[in-house]
């Protein structure tokens, strides 16, 4: 049997069917997304006022994405060429030469280039379409809130599911097609696919993160702090930018980020699988190491569809003890359905097809890991648990103790998150230690495959957050001053939806970070495996081949120190970037407030101007950060060589993980501590509720936490993956050019110059005392 | 020639003379300390009121040290026995058997036990005597301030120098005597010496750190925040505890910490030196690897004496361009004298004796490293530089932006500190890479030897800080309400002295952290070298011997992740410990304020009660933290084995360094930003100076920074050294007990239980709403 010529890769009939099945599943998930789109769009968009607000958000968000695309297009163009040429600097793998005996380099070069463009486009599509759907849904959910809770919830949740299914479908489609075409040569090509996705994710995550917090902080600093007007007040010129920010940051950025993890875990699983496949003694089982992860991904997508499909049934489920009490519980119940389904079928496939139950145990551990992060994140950030209660108590003694308690909570949460990840690795070790270290590395990659198998559900739950947040904002703005009962009831529904969204957003954030780390560790493992492969191919003498990344070697230790420093630098710079961008917004909002009529509410502020400033400065801040992320590992690898670069990667992963979780959870805990205080009865004498001194302290905590949890922390996810992927791609070049030569050193110094330029950009200042006195007439349209 | 029988170690005549010379130098530095003591004590202690305040501080500090001693004595006793028995679990090194062919184990066991007690006692003496001298000096400096700046300065500086000379003298004495007695067997014994010092340093540093900040934060929260009375106001019951805290934290804790680095760098230099000595082909140069570092230390002590001796001459120096303009510059000039002296003589010794100029280059790099941290720390924390100016600017927009800017500054500073350390390692690599990796590790240890050679000057500059701080406090309290010109002038002098102290303290803090890291890296290198040695001795087959700590092995990676998490846990817990201890003080101070007459100033508060509470809670918090630091590496090593423990150590060092510098510099920058705002002209309308909104924001920053820079950050220094040293001591046991067996697992579970107990302790809460209504009469003595 030879379906679509798949037999030439050595696939047996079952494997050929299975791969086609996976492909079909990928297409089904895209179809499911399309069907969901229809069901969301059929709802109404509410009255004219709502649509006005909504249009402003929509135009702002689209103009952001458009501008972002223009900013990064030159970089993408340049890197497309680099991808193409990279194949000619170091010859493709021996496997590629076997698959394509003629024109090997050219075929791989074209393949890698197309894959790169495909990876980048898919990431872009997930971000762009996902965000557009979110925007389509938010006004509809707001309108539906007037009719009832469930309708509003299902609009928001299913719009989120669209993004989830796009992530699943495109990720699976890309990986499967590449394997079908390139067979054993696919790692050469998959690197391009992974890199395209990673690069776009970095751009969207970092740019979106800076945008969203610059707008948020800028709006708050002038609105809440200086003018003492409430959040989402339509008189504040930055309020639309703030709402746009939720979409470009939490929605587009997050989706691209998770898509990337989804992609690179499959890339590293295939790379590590090929290494095992080469030494597999049983010819009939040779390809199981590669086909198994693809099948599991297919099963995961089916599970996700099944799970998200069941959301509405849980509140009326016939069996009582399984019945859900509220919307949140329904989402979790549906997640459990997906999990059970994946675990069961992965054991079926592992035992019947791969003849190794341990593979299913690993993917199940991965599934469990994603689930384990729920209670963990929730313990440290939920208002019902001790850590947030401690922060609330600390507000008694002012902002300083509030901050200190939050820092301590964040630090501790980071430790436990890391311990959970370490435990999952212990399982990989226990199951495969006897088989050798390459098997353990593959086992770690399988945990990653399992962990991301329910990306559909995760992205759905995450995208639900900004959608409900935005509906709430649209309500606040378009129903400003309306106090009739129907409106009040609709508002309460939206506030409830928003609260659910905050929880699901926090949880998926935890999963996103953990998945980034698992993905990065898989890439790190592939890095080591790949260097060995390249060295053999380049006929490096056995004595000089890399057998370990020896951290007790001083050179590796130096790389390791530098690697650990990178996430700290990245965090420091991204916090600064937010401050700078926020400062520009502050200046503009202040200017508009001086225009007569704005503060009185008789004139509409120029929202577009602030959106434009936000967009522009986010782009400006993005480029230096991306430059540092790409150039640093290359410099370390070229100067200190591949083994030290391995140390560097380990340092990046460790410090990246610890810092990212610390920032995300400290921020989440402060956020919820503030909400706790706001939910107290307002009594200034007893120092409780909104407006009290305790509330002010809590607001300080929340404001500190915002850029940590929504910019600096999330920016680390794509960064650690990008650094690992860049190293993986560049490793063959570094191995084959041990002696740099003049050209090599020129390249290093050019990179150093780029690094210094990027760093210098990040040290610039915005003069907040600069007050442009633009004539009031010109300033207002 | 055979001086004192030294020839039996294979020492040539020059080496015998040199060692004796080093011993004499150690004694000279103790003599110098004794002479300085006389010159400080001959000054007067001021009027009765000053002596009253001073007596309260003195009694409080002594009661703290007494209680601390009682708390840790059982632990010391237990560990003394463990040290003795440890030799019988694994037989001593082959070198020991050669040196002492009969009763080897017993001799080494007794030697190690005595060395342990010696290390602990020396550390205790440095802390205790140093602090007592500081207290003797503070009141005298305060009194001298009425007579003039220079006299007050020299009292404070020379009292600090006493501690510096004790550190030098005792550290050198211990190391040299042990080598003289045990020769090649000395590493077996030196480990005990190092461990004793390290353990005490941890106790004093962590206990002192918690004490000082609990008192400080507690005093501020009630005094400044609730009652709005100034700092050091005698009506505040916590004010004496606050002053005591400066002594037990900044003085005793810091001195013990630096003493420890001084000690363990020599321990690791000797361990690594012995490894090189064993393979040295030239029999005449065999011992240079061991004797050279001891000679350099001797030279360093002479340089320190010379340098501190010259402090008074620089303001009147005949050559104009060398003349110092103020006290601060004089201290730095004297530091430069020491540096030049050490560098010149180290080249003389390296070339003429060791026949390897590179050794001198390395010690000079070490000297340079200590110097390099001055401008680095100063850039990020000085009021004159951009980072602090940025924080000051951020106070415009409230506490949240103040905190964010400070976090960003701290993160960035940490990156640069790490890069400087990495660069010093690059030099080690460049100089010795050709000779092999063991030489590079030794080279790193030599940088540590160089870096700590001017410990005398560093400790002097550091101890000067709390002395001047306390004199200022004594002045504030005993001259309360006096407004005559002489008093105002004396106050100004003391404020100036205090400001100089803040700078020198910040700088030496940077040096202390860096030295801890260098010391830890040396220990890490020794760890690796020692395992190889033990494996050979235990006849582990060559194939199973450790040739690398392979970070790409999953097991090592797990250890590595856990290691990285430890400093985060430690920081989280120590911040919590401060909050908890501060909360107890808050309750007591509030209680006292309710006693009629206290707030009016007609009744003296019961200072002793607060001192007692502070003392008690610092001790209570100390034990769990120390338990976690000791037990975690042992568990990792026993369960995951020595290679993974190597990964663990690397993780601890990396994250420990980054976090420690981050916290120290963020804290220092906030502190100085607050000072900047306070130095502005007070104008509430323009929002400048004390009492303005900007000032309030700056105070929040400072309060957040306090426990970071004075408790959590400094606590990491002894922790990273202790973890490395514990691993080094336990390594032979882990190697020889690869298979744990039932007893082994029982030990592991007992440790786990201890760990869980310690962690549970740190989760306890103090109920701040608990208001004990003690009768006013009973509560006031």
If DSSP states are collapsed to H, E and C, what string results for A598-632? CCCCCCCCCHHHHHHHHHHHHHHHHHHHHHHHHHH
CA geometry: angle A552, A556, A558, nearest 5 deg: 105
Round to whole Å and give the CA distance between A668 and A378.
10
% of chain A residues with pLDDT over 90: 39
pLDDT of residue A656: 95
**Interface contact flag, B425 A557, Cβ < 8 Å:** yes
Candidate from B400, B403, B425 with C-beta closest to A558:
B425
Residue A57 predicted with pLDDT over 90: no
Taking the CB of residue B738, how many other CB atoms lie within 10 A of it? 12
Contacts of B95 (CB under 8 A, 6+ apart): B184, B185, B187, B188, B274
Instruction: Mean pLDDT check: name the lowest of A105-119, A470-484, B266-280, B658-672.
Output: A470-484
Q: Give 3-state DSSP helix, strand, coil % of chain B, rounded to 5.
A: 85, 0, 15
Q: Are B717 and B212 a contacting pair, CB within 8 Å?
A: no
Instruction: Mean pLDDT check: name the lowest of A635-644, B149-158, B497-506.
Output: B497-506
pLDDT classification of B639: cutoffs 50, 70, 90: very high
Mean pLDDT to the nearest integer, B621-638: 92
Contacts of B523 (CB under 8 A, 6+ apart): B264, B267, B268, B721, B724, B725, B728
Residue B594 predicted with pLDDT over 80: yes
**Interface contact flag, A554 B440, Cβ < 8 Å:** yes
Q: Which residue of B has its CA nearest to A413?
A: B569
Round to whole Å and give the CA distance between B703 and A400.
6
Burial of A38 from C-beta contacts in 10 A (0-12 / 13-18 / 19+): exposed
Residue carrying the six token digits 């005449």: B284
Residue A42 predicted with pLDDT over 90: yes
**Interface contact flag, A221 B401, Cβ < 8 Å:** yes
Q: Which residue of A has its CA nearest to B657?
A: A561
pLDDT classification of A343: cutoffs 50, 70, 90: very high
Residue B85 predicted with pLDDT over 60: yes
Q: Are B49 and B325 a contacting pair, CB within 8 Å?
A: no
Q: Is A730 left (phi over 0), alpha (psi -120 to 50) or beta?
A: alpha
Round to whole Å and give the CA distance between A478 and B361.
72
Disruptive mutation site among B216, B411, B671, B673 for chain A (greatest number of A CBs within 10 Å): B411
**Interface contact flag, A658 B564, Cβ < 8 Å:** yes
**Interface contact flag, B557 A521, Cβ < 8 Å:** yes
Mean pLDDT to the nearest integer, A73-98: 86
- Is the torsion defined by CA of B600, B606, B611, B616 positive or negative? negative
**Interface contact flag, B433 A528, Cβ < 8 Å:** no
More confident residue, A583 or B193: B193
Round to whole Å and give the CA distance between A687 and B517.
46
In three-state secondary structure terms, A358 is helix
CA distance B419 to chain A (A): 7
CA distance B21 to chain A (A): 34
pLDDT of residue A776: 40
Residue B326 predicted with pLDDT over 90: no
Task: Count the residues in chain B.
Answer: 781
CA distance B767 to chain A (A): 10
Round to whole Å and give the CA distance between A173 and A115.
12
pLDDT classification of B616: cutoffs 50, 70, 90: confident
Residue B318 predicted with pLDDT over 70: yes
Point out which residues pair with A683 in neighbouring strands. A688
Residue carrying the six token digits 């301030």: B145
Structure tokens at B772: 């004990």
Average pLDDT, chain B: 88
Contacts of A384 (CB under 8 A, 6+ apart): none
Residue B777 predicted with pLDDT over 50: no
Residue A770 predicted with pLDDT over 60: no
pLDDT of residue B628: 94
Residue B8 predicted with pLDDT over 90: no
Round to whole Å and give the CA distance between A257 and A509.
10
Contacts of B236 (CB under 8 A, 6+ apart): B219, B222, B223, B227, B229, B589, B605
Taking contacts as CB-CB distances below 8 angstroms, the residues of chain A near B390 are 765
Q: Are A573 and B571 a contacting pair, CB within 8 Å?
A: no
In three-state secondary structure terms, A683 is strand
Burial of A389 from C-beta contacts in 10 A (0-12 / 13-18 / 19+): middle
In three-state secondary structure terms, A688 is strand
Taking contacts as CB-CB distances below 8 angstroms, the residues of chain A near B549 are 550-552
Average pLDDT, chain A: 88
pLDDT of residue B106: 92
pLDDT classification of A378: cutoffs 50, 70, 90: confident
pLDDT, tens only, A211-231? 888 888 888 888 877 777 877
Taking contacts as CB-CB distances below 8 angstroms, the residues of chain B near A768 are 393, 396-397
Candidate from A426, A525, A573 with C-beta closest to B552:
A525
Q: Is B436 left (phi over 0), alpha (psi -120 to 50) or beta?
A: left
Burial of A599 from C-beta contacts in 10 A (0-12 / 13-18 / 19+): middle
pLDDT of residue A692: 87
Round to whole Å and give the CA distance between B219 and B595.
17
Q: Are B294 and B179 a contacting pair, CB within 8 Å?
A: yes
**Interface contact flag, B415 A568, Cβ < 8 Å:** yes
pLDDT of residue B767: 63
Contacts of A199 (CB under 8 A, 6+ apart): A75, A76, A79, A120, A626, A722
Round to whole Å and give the CA distance between B157 and B143.
15
Residue A774 predicted with pLDDT over 80: no
Disruptive mutation site among A404, A434, A580, A703 for chain B (greatest number of B CBs within 10 Å): A404
CA distance A269 to chain B (A): 16
**Interface contact flag, B397 A524, Cβ < 8 Å:** no
Write down the ipTM of this complex: 0.92
Contacts of A435 (CB under 8 A, 6+ apart): none
pLDDT of residue B770: 55
Q: What does the radius of gyration of chain B's CA atoms come to, in whole angstroms?
A: 26
**Interface contact flag, A425 B561, Cβ < 8 Å:** yes
Taking contacts as CB-CB distances below 8 angstroms, the residues of chain B near A547 are 548, 550
pLDDT of residue A779: 38
Instruction: Mean pLDDT check: name the lowest of A112-116, B278-282, B293-297, B770-774.
Output: B770-774
Candidate from A554, A575, A646 with C-beta closest to B551:
A646
Residue A312 predicted with pLDDT over 80: no
Structure tokens at A320: 């009582």
**Interface contact flag, B571 A651, Cβ < 8 Å:** no
Q: What are phi and psi of B485, to 5 degrees?
A: -65, -40
Q: What are phi and psi of B550, to 5 degrees?
A: -85, 105
Q: Which residue of B has its CA nearest to A415?
A: B565
Residue carrying the six token digits 């009763």: B103
Residue carrying the six token digits 């939920």: A382
CA geometry: angle A550, A552, A557, nearest 5 deg: 85
**Interface contact flag, B565 A415, Cβ < 8 Å:** yes
Mean pLDDT to the nearest integer, B115-133: 92
Residue B468 predicted with pLDDT over 80: yes
Round to whole Å and give the CA distance between A749 and A422.
38
pLDDT classification of B780: cutoffs 50, 70, 90: very low
Q: Measure Cα distances from B342 to B176, B298, B352, B362, B386 in Å.
A: 19, 10, 15, 12, 34
pLDDT of residue A780: 38
Q: Are B164 and B90 a contacting pair, CB within 8 Å?
A: no
Task: Count the residues in chain A.
Answer: 781
CA distance B469 to chain A (A): 23
Q: Measure Cα distances from A591 to A609, A771, A777, B685, B686 in Å.
A: 11, 7, 12, 22, 20
Structure tokens at A52: 């006005």
**Interface contact flag, B575 A411, Cβ < 8 Å:** yes
Counting one residue from chain A and one from chain B, the pairs whose CB atoms sit within 8 A come to 246
Round to whole Å and give the CA distance between B594 and A109.
81
Taking contacts as CB-CB distances below 8 angstroms, the residues of chain B near A369 are none
Instruction: Mean pLDDT check: name the lowest of A219-233, A676-690, B266-280, B627-641.
Output: A219-233
pLDDT classification of A775: cutoffs 50, 70, 90: very low
Residue carrying the six token digits 């139950």: A357
Taking contacts as CB-CB distances below 8 angstroms, the residues of chain A near B708 are 407
Mean pLDDT to the nearest integer, A412-441: 92
Taking contacts as CB-CB distances below 8 angstroms, the residues of chain A near B399 are 399, 700
CA geometry: angle B371, B374, B376, nearest 5 deg: 115
Structure tokens at B441: 């590790």
Q: Which of A696, A706, A581 is nearest to A238 (CA)?
A: A581
Taking contacts as CB-CB distances below 8 angstroms, the residues of chain A near B415 are 565, 568-569, 572
pLDDT of residue A635: 95
pLDDT of residue B769: 58
Q: Are B727 and B649 a contacting pair, CB within 8 Å?
A: yes
* DSSP assignment of B426-449: HHHHHHHGGG-HHHHHHHHHHHHH
pLDDT of residue B299: 95
Contacts of A610 (CB under 8 A, 6+ apart): A215, A218, A237, A238, A240, A241, A585, A588, A589, A592
Taking contacts as CB-CB distances below 8 angstroms, the residues of chain B near A400 are 699-700, 703-704
Residue B57 predicted with pLDDT over 50: yes
Looking at chain B, the number of H-run helices and the number of E-run strands are 22, 0
Q: Which residue of A has its CA nearest to B561?
A: A654
Round to whole Å and give the CA distance between B72 and B744.
27
Mean pLDDT to the nearest integer, B113-135: 92
Taking contacts as CB-CB distances below 8 angstroms, the residues of chain A near B548 are 547-548, 550-553
Taking contacts as CB-CB distances below 8 angstroms, the residues of chain A near B564 are 418, 654-655, 658
Taking contacts as CB-CB distances below 8 angstroms, the residues of chain B near A429 are 554-555, 558
Residue carrying the six token digits 């239980």: B753
Candidate from A551, A569, A704 with C-beta closest to B404:
A704
**Interface contact flag, A397 B647, Cβ < 8 Å:** no
Residue B696 predicted with pLDDT over 50: yes
Q: Which of B734, B743, B570, B771 is nearest to B90 (CA)?
A: B734
Q: Which of B665, B371, B332, B372 is nearest to B506 (CA)?
A: B665
Residue carrying the six token digits 């020769």: B183
Round to whole Å and give the CA distance between A92 and A733.
11
CA distance A242 to chain B (A): 18
Residue B408 predicted with pLDDT over 50: yes
The DSSP 8-state label assigned to residue A681 in this structure reads P
pLDDT of residue A781: 34
**Interface contact flag, B561 A421, Cβ < 8 Å:** yes
Candidate from A393, A426, A565 with C-beta closest to B658:
A565
**Interface contact flag, A552 B422, Cβ < 8 Å:** no
Round to whole Å and give the CA distance between A631 and A635.
6
Disruptive mutation site among B386, B392, B421, B554 for chain A (greatest number of A CBs within 10 Å): B554
Instruction: Mean pLDDT check: name the lowest of A289-293, A411-415, A747-751, B544-548.
Output: B544-548
**Interface contact flag, B568 A528, Cβ < 8 Å:** no
CA distance B77 to chain A (A): 32
**Interface contact flag, A552 B554, Cβ < 8 Å:** no
């Amino acid at each position: 049997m030879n379906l679509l010529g798949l037999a030439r890769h050595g696939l047996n009939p079952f494997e050929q069917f299975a791969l086609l099945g996976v492909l079909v599943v990928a297409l089904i998930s895209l179809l499911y997304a399309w069907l969901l789109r229809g069901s969301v769009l059929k709802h109404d968009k509410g009255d004219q006022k709502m649509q006005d607000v909504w249009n402003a958000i929509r135009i702002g968000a689209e103009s952001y994405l458009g501008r972002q695309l223009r900013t990064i297009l030159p970089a993408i163009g340049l890197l497309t060429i680099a991808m193409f040429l990279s194949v000619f600097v170091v010859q493709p793998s021996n496997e590629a030469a076997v698959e394509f005996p003629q024109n090997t380099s050219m075929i791989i070069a074209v393949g890698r280039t197309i894959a790169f463009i495909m990876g980048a486009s898919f990431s872009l599509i997930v971000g762009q379409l996902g965000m557009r759907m979110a925007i389509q849904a938010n006004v509809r959910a707001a309108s539906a809130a007037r009719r009832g809770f469930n309708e509003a919830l299902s609009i928001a949740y299913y719009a989120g599911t669209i993004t989830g299914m796009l992530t699943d479908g495109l990720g699976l489609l890309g990986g499967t097609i590449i394997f079908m075409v390139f067979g054993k040569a696919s790692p050469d090509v998959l690197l391009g696919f992974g890199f395209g996705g990673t690069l776009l994710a970095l751009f969207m995550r970092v740019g979106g993160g800076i945008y969203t917090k610059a707008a948020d902080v800028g709006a708050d600093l002038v609105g809440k702090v200086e003018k003492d007007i409430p959040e989402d007040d339509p008189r504040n010129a930055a309020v639309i930018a703030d709402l746009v920010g939720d979409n470009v940051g939490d929605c587009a950025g997050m989706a691209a980020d998770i898509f990337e993890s989804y992609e690179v875990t499959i890339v590293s699983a295939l790379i590590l699988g090929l290494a095992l496949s080469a030494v597999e003694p049983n010819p009939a089982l040779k390809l199981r190491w590669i086909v198994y992860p693809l099948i599991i991904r297919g099963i995961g997508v089916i599970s996700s569809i099944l799970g998200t499909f069941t959301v509405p049934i849980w509140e009326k489920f016939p069996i009582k003890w399984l019945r859900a009490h509220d919307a949140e519980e329904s989402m979790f119940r549906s997640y459990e359905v997906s999990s059970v389904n994946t675990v069961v079928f992965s054991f079926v496939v592992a035992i019947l097809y791969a003849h190794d139950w341990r593979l299913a145990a690993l993917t199940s551990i991965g599934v469990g890991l994603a689930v384990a992060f729920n209670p963990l994140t929730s313990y440290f950030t939920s208002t019902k648990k001790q850590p947030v209660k401690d922060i609330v108590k600390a507000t008694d003694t002012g902002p300083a103790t509030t901050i200190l308690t939050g820092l301590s909570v964040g630090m501790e949460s980071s430790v436990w998150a890391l311990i959970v990840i370490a435990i999952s690795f212990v399982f990989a070790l226990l199951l495969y230690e006897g088989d050798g270290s390459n098997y353990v590395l593959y086992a770690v990659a399988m945990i990653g495959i399992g962990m991301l198998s329910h990306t559909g559900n995760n992205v759905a739950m995450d995208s639900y957050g900004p959608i409900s947040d935005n509906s709430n904002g649209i309500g606040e703005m378009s129903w400003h001053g309306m106090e009739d009962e129907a409106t009040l009831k609709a508002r309460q529904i939206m506030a409830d939806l928003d609260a659910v969204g905050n929880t699901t957003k926090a949880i998926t954030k935890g999963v996103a970070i953990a998945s980034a780390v698992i993905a990065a560790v898989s890439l790190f493992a592939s890095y080591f495996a790949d260097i060995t492969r390249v060295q053999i191919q380049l006929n490096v003498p056995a004595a000089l081949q890399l057998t370990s990344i020896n951290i007790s070697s001083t050179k590796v230790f130096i790389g390791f120190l530098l690697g650990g420093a990178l996430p700290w630098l990245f965090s420091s710079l991204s916090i600064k970037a937010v401050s700078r961008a926020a400062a520009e917004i502050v200046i503009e909002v202040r200017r508009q407030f001086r225009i007569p009529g704005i503060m009185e509410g008789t004139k509409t502020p120029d929202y577009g101007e602030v959106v434009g400033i936000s967009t522009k400065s986010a782009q400006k801040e993005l480029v230096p950060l991306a430059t540092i992320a790409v150039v640093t590992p290359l410099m370390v690898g070229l100067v200190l060589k591949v083994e030290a670069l391995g140390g560097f990667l380990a340092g990046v992963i460790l410090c990246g993980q610890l810092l990212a979780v610390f920032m995300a959870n400290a921020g989440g805990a402060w956020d919820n501590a503030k909400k706790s205080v706001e939910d107290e009865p307002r009594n200034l004498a007893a120092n409780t509720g909104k407006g009290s001194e305790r509330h002010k302290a809590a607001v300080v905590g929340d404001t500190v936490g915002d850029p940590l949890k929504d910019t600096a922390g999330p920016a680390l996810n794509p960064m650690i993956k990008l650094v690992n992927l860049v190293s993986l791609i560049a490793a063959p070049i570094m191995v084959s050019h041990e002696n740099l030569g003049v050209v090599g050193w020129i390249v290093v110094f050019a990179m150093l110059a780029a690094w210094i330029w990027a760093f210098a950009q990040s040290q610039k200042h915005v003069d907040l005392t600069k007050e442009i006195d633009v004539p009031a007439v010109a300033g207002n349209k």
